[in-house]
Amino acid sequence: MEQRRVSASSSTAGTTSVPAPTLTSAGFVAPAESDILTGALADMNAALGGNASTALSTPQGQLAMSFTAALGDAYDQMLALFNGVDPDRAQGRMQDAIGNLYFLSRKGASATGLGDFACTVTGAVACPAGSIALYQSVPGLTGITNPAAGVNGAEEEGRIAFEKRRAASVAANAMGFLGALNGAVRAVAGVTDAYVTDNSTAQTQVVGGVSLAPHSLYVCVNGGADADVALAILRKKPPGCAYTGATTVTVTDPDSTAAVPLRYDVSFTRATPTPVYMTVTLGSSATVPATVEQDVRAAVLAAFAVDTSATIGGTLYASAYYAAVAALGSWARVVGITLGLDPSPTGLTAQLAMNMVPTMEAATIAVVLG
C-alpha cells in the first residue's frame, strides 16, 4: 500500500511504497524486510519512469537491497532498544542499567569452592571427586583430598539469573518475610544459591525433606562467608523467631543503639553437595564417533552449568538435556535420558531436598549405545 508522508518543516509531500513500522498493543512491530524490498523496488521503478527492470542484479536492484538492509538494521536496533527497557527481555548493558536502579551489579564469575577451599580460577571449573591433591608442602599439612565432587563455580551471571535476582532484590528492601530474607542472603558476596522457608506452627514439621523446629526460620545457602550470611539473616529476620540450622555464628548487631552492642547467635544450613547421576542412551550406528562418551559428557555438563533448575531444593528434568545431546550431530539419536540421585537412575525427574545443592561430573554420566 502506497503511503503519503508530509514534511513538518515544509509544504512538500512525498509518497512511498515502503511500509512503515507500527506501535500496537503488542509493542513495536517492524515490517518484514521482504516487504521493505518490494516497496523500495516500486519506488525505484516509479522514479525511473515506470519501465525500469526490478531485477536485483540491476543497479537499481542493488540500491534497493542496500536501502532495505540499512532500514532493516535500523529497525532491529530500535527493537533492541525497546526490549532493553523491559526487565523480562533486557540483556547486556541495558539490563545492567535496570539493575543499577535497584543498586545491583551483575555478579562476576565465581570460583569452585567447598568449606574453606576455593579455586583460584573463576568460572564453571569442574571439581570431580578425588581431583584435589596437595600441590605445595605446608608445615603440619600432610594431604588434601575431596571424596565427593565439589560445587562448580559459575560464569558471569547470565541474563535470566540476573533478572531473577533483581526481582528478588525488590523484596529485600522489606523486613520480616521470606522474600526479604531470600533477597538479602542472595545479595551476599560469594553466595550462588539460597533457599528460605519457615515453620510457623507450634509443632515440628518436615518440609522438603528437612525437619524444622517449631516457630523457626530455615535458611540454606551455598557460597559466601559465614559471618556475612549470618549478618544478612539477622538484619532481615523478625524478632523472637527461632532458627533451624547446623551452622551457628555469633553476630554483633551493627544497628544496635545499646551501650554494649547486642550479640546474637544466628543459625543456618550449608547446602550439601549432592551428586546427580544421568544415563544417556543413544541409537547405535556406524556414524557414532569413537569419542561419543567424551562428547556426550561435555555437552551434558555444559547444559547442567546453565540449568536454572539445578538449585537448592530444585527439580531437575531429563528433558532439559535432550537438545544439548542432539546438537552434537545427526549421529546423536537420543533414545532416552534418565537421571536421579542414585547411581543407577531410572527417573525422568530428580527432586532435591531443601538442604541439597546438585553437582555433576563426568563420572556420574553414563553413555549407553542401544
Read off the pLDDT of residues 28-65 as tens digits, 9 standing for 90 and up: 899 999 999 999 999 988 888 888 888 999 998 899 99
Q: What is the pTM of this model?
A: 0.61
Question: Phi and psi at residue 214, in whole multiples of 5°?
Answer: -60, 145
- Considering the chain, what percentage of its residues have pLDDT values greater than 70? 86
Ranges under pLDDT 70 in the chain: 1-14, 110-118, 120, 123-124, 134-143, 150, 152-154, 168-176
Assign 235 to helix, strand or coil: helix
Do β-strands 356-359 and 272-275 pair in parallel, antiparallel, or remain unpaired?
Answer: parallel
Separation CA 321–CA 342 (nearest Å): 18
pLDDT of residue 144: 73
Q: What dihedral do alpha carbons 306, 309, 315, 319 form, nearest 10°?
A: -60
The pLDDT tens digits of the residues spanning 137-186 come to: 666 666 677 777 767 666 777 787 777 777 766 656 666 678 889 989 99
